[in-house]
Amino acid sequence: MDLKLRYYLGSMVFLSGLIISIAGIGFGIFVNLMWTSDPIEIMTTYSLVGIGFSLTLLGINLMISKQRPYGLYSNIAMVTGFILSIAGVIYFLMIFQDNWVYPYATYLVILYASGISLLSGNAFANAVLRVIGEPSENLSTSSSNKNYSLEDIEKEVEKTLSQSYSTNNTNFSSFDLGVKEDDTSFVPCKTFKSTQQERIEVEDFISEAKNLQTTMTGKVETGDYGLELTTKMLSETMKEKERDQNKSIFNKFKTKFNNKRK
Amino acid sequence: MAKGLDVGTMNIICAEKGKSDSIVFAQQRNAFLKMEAGDLAQNMLDTSKILYTHQNDTINVLGEDAFKFANVFNKPIRRPMRQGIISPDEKESIPMIKLIIERVLNKAEKDGELLTISVPASPVDSNINVLYHSKTVEALSKKLGYKTTLIDEGLAVVYSELGDQNFTGVGISVGAGMTNITVAYLATPIVSFSIARGGDWIDEQVASATGVAIERVTSIKENDFTFNSEYEIGSIQGAIALYYDALITYIIEHLKRKLEEAAPPDAEFPVAIAGGSSRAKGFLEMFEKRITEANLSINISKVKKTQYASSGAKDPVYAIARGCLISSITRENAEKAESEEVNKTKNEENK
């Protein structure tokens, strides 16, 4: 069967089992079930709860059936468990009214308990096997399925290199290339020493340097004594107010605590 | 004094604060030309004060002059860098870059002087690794006595050009070997990547399509090309326009893809474009048109010209070095403020 279909079927079975169980419990509450209740009421309640519980476990088994390592044995255990538990319910319906005595009741308990044990044990074992298998499965798929292009590899190398050589965010010390003294066979002419490089002077206030500092640091340097003094005073006032507020919050808390103690 | 350094495939540019409210740029072409050594040639180069190095029986002419000599002698230029990083094919890359860096940067006035260098972000369309390039450039500057920090080229554009927008926006540097893109929100990069195509790719494609030498294509592209002009079929300018358009579309397509992977905040993102290959007249208008058509997942408010491009005479190629300088000055100010704070606390404790 298609795995997806099996999963949805499992969900449906699980849900129907849950509804039947709830219906059984609901019925029992509705009829106010007790030892002295009508046998039909007892039989209806317990058979509904019994079938519902078996269906719920069967649904769980079907849902976790994906990639079961022991597929065939697991299926046999699941089907046997379900048949045994349902047989238990049917046997209960048969004996309850006339033969609810030893050893029939014991047979019933053995039948139903073995069915439920098989279903729950099978579900548990599959879940455990799946949990154990998942990490290795993830590792193998992530390494084999992801194909890196040459561009990806180069980008990664570039990124790693630039990170390791950046001066800001690295623990590595900077790597500096050394420069050898000039090769004697390579002689610069006299003009190199006798003349200076021609230079062009352009009128420019370079106001961007100050703006750049402001943008990067968020601080404004005024150089105005009055303005700086006022800013300092304002800052002090704000700090004082904050301290007062903190004090009043603490006092409120203290008063509340004392009131409660009283 | 803090400095900024842009190590590009075509130019190496240093930016430092001038004496008054100004920035001083030192620029050198990142190229050289191999010539046969000879007393006459060396005397001529010395008299003309041309930069060169002498090795056994060869002379390497450096910088801008290498281009002039390449045109005269019809020889190919050699480039220490290719596709934004140190060229693995060029044996003399590192000594040449070292010489140029020493020339534009000079030794640090005091040990531990702050320097920020722009480096390319990891490319999305190539398996080039930028680590070796970044670490080599860092080592060369440290050797000169600097305390170096590396930042993405795109972020340098954001620092330089998007200060008015609180450093929120898209910084694009269209260089010779690479195009670097950074989407930043409040100076923090959200997306940063590069594309292994730039001005050189256009030159190569046009040269291969039209059969004209690369050097000539480069020269036409830099001096005699405007977007929105009608060119005849088969003309070099027409081919340049075609490949410029292809490059712009390619950049925007990758930006769109990268933004879909990230989750940018709901804000207005202006675009700032810098870099030598964005110098072509009409480039920004073309870019604006294409980015509007792209329907990106962020709200593009405008495409912004670099400060220097708008002033007319100056070059957008300086924006990256300027961004690096801004980063260095910011770090310097932060360190100063921190040490002042520590001193203040110590004084208060002593009292």
Together in a domain, B199 and B55:
no
Distance (Å) from the C-alpha of residue B344 to the closest C-alpha of chain A?
15
- Note whether B300 contacts A: Cβ–Cβ < 8 A: no
The answer to whether B186 contacts A215, with C-beta atoms less than 8 Å apart, is yes
Together in a domain, B20 and B56:
no
Together in a domain, B256 and B282:
yes
Of residues A201 and A170, more confidently modeled: A201
- Note whether A209 contacts B: Cβ–Cβ < 8 A: yes
Q: How large is the ipTM?
A: 0.80
Of residues A148 and A125, more confidently modeled: A125
Closest CA to B247 of B218, B224, B278, B269: B278
Closest CA to B53 of B97, B113, B109, B10: B97
Q: Is the pLDDT of residue A88 over 80?
A: yes
Residues of B in contact with A194 (CB under 8 A): 49
Together in a domain, B51 and B123:
no
Together in a domain, B84 and B69:
no
Give residue A89's pLDDT band: very low, low, confident or very high (50, 70, 90): very high
Residue B345 CA to residue B351 CA, distance in Å, equals 10
- The one-letter amino acid code at B148 reads T
Residues of B in contact with A160 (CB under 8 A): none
Its domain, for residue B37, covers: 31-78
Q: Residues of A123-145 as b/e, b for ≥16 C-beta within 10 angstroms?
A: bebbeebeeeeeeeeeeeeeeee
Interface A-B, measured as beta-carbon pairs within 8 A, has a size of 137
Q: Is the pLDDT of residue A61 over 50?
A: yes
Rg (chain B; Cα; Å): 21
Residue A165's closest chain B neighbor by CA? B131
Res A185: pLDDT: 67
What are the residues facing B11 on neighbouring strands? B29
Res B7: pLDDT: 94
Res B131: pLDDT: 87
The answer to whether A182 contacts B166, with C-beta atoms less than 8 Å apart, is no
Residues 120-139 of B with CB under 8 A from A: 122, 127, 129, 131, 135-136, 138-139
- Structural domains of chain A in order of their starting residue, each with its CATH number: 3-134 (1.20.120)
pLDDT digits (tens, 9 = 90+) for A29-40: 999 888 888 989
Together in a domain, B111 and B69:
no
Which of B78, B96, B113 is where one domain is finished?
B78
- Note whether B246 contacts A: Cβ–Cβ < 8 A: no
- Note whether B330 contacts A: Cβ–Cβ < 8 A: yes
Res B312: pLDDT: 45
The answer to whether B166 contacts A208, with C-beta atoms less than 8 Å apart, is no
Together in a domain, B25 and B47:
no
Give chain B's residues under pLDDT 70. Answer: 229, 307-314
pLDDT digits (tens, 9 = 90+) for A186-207: 788 888 888 888 888 888 888 8
Which of A206, A215, A217, A232 has the most B C-beta neighbours within 10 Å, making it the best mutation to test the interface with B? A206
Residues of B in contact with A189 (CB under 8 A): 42, 45-46, 50-54
Nearest neighbour of A177 by CB, restricted to B54, B136, B149: B136
- Note whether B23 contacts A: Cβ–Cβ < 8 A: yes
Nearest neighbour of A192 by CB, restricted to B51, B318, B322: B51
Residues of A in contact with B187 (CB under 8 A): 212, 215-216
Residues of A in contact with B131 (CB under 8 A): 161-162, 165
pLDDT digits (tens, 9 = 90+) for B178-227: 999 999 999 999 999 999 999 999 999 999 999 988 888 888 888 888 88
Tell me how many domains chain B contains: 2
Going by their DSSP bridges, the two strands B11-17 and B85-86 should be labelled as unpaired
Closest CA to B298 of B272, B269, B271, B273: B269
Let me know how many helices (H) and strands (E) chain A has, helices first: 8, 2
Residues 137-156 of B with CB under 8 A from A: 138-140, 142-143, 149
Together in a domain, B69 and B24:
no
Which of B52, B78, B104 is where one domain is finished?
B78
Closest CA to B239 of B219, B223, B221: B221
Nearest neighbour of A215 by CB, restricted to B20, B56, B167: B167
Lowest-confidence region among A7-21, A163-177, B216-230:
A163-177
Residues of A in contact with B163 (CB under 8 A): 207-208, 211-212
What are the residues facing B3 on neighbouring strands? B16, B115
Query: In chain A, what's the furthest Cα-to-Cα distance?
Result: 127
Together in a domain, B210 and B119:
yes
What are the residues facing B268 on neighbouring strands? B299
Residue B270 CA to residue B27 CA, distance in Å, equals 28
HSE at residue A256, side-chain half, CA atoms within 13 A, is: 6
Res A161: pLDDT: 66
The answer to whether B23 contacts A206, with C-beta atoms less than 8 Å apart, is yes
Which of B39, B60, B78 is where one domain is finished?
B78
Q: Which CATH number covers residue B271?
A: 3.30.420.40
Together in a domain, B332 and B250:
yes
Q: Is the pLDDT of residue A246 over 80?
A: no
Together in a domain, B60 and B16:
no
The answer to whether A221 contacts B337, with C-beta atoms less than 8 Å apart, is yes
The answer to whether A191 contacts B52, with C-beta atoms less than 8 Å apart, is yes
Which of A197, A203, A220, A232 has the most B C-beta neighbours within 10 Å, making it the best mutation to test the interface with B? A197
Together in a domain, B345 and B241:
yes
Q: Is the pLDDT of residue A175 over 70?
A: no
Cis amide linkage into residue B189, ω under 30° from 0: no
Residue B181 CA to residue B158 CA, distance in Å, equals 10
Distance (Å) from the C-alpha of residue A211 to the closest C-alpha of chain B?
7
Which of B261, B326, B335 has the most A C-beta neighbours within 10 Å, making it the best mutation to test the interface with A? B326
Lowest-confidence region among A75-89, A125-139, B11-25, B231-245:
A125-139
Give residue A19's pLDDT band: very low, low, confident or very high (50, 70, 90): very high
Q: Is the pLDDT of residue A217 over 80?
A: no
Residue A219's closest chain B neighbor by CA? B334
Tokens of A101: 């005595």
Number of neighbours of residue B240 by Cβ within 10 angstroms? 23
Distances, alpha carbon B209 to alpha carbons A45, A188, B214, B230, B243, in Å: 93, 39, 11, 19, 10
- Note whether A181 contacts B: Cβ–Cβ < 8 A: no
Which of B23, B33, B42, B306 has the most A C-beta neighbours within 10 Å, making it the best mutation to test the interface with A? B23
Q: Residues of A57-92 as b/e, b for ≥16 C-beta within 10 angstroms?
A: bbbbbbbbbeebeeeeebeebbeebbebbbebbebb
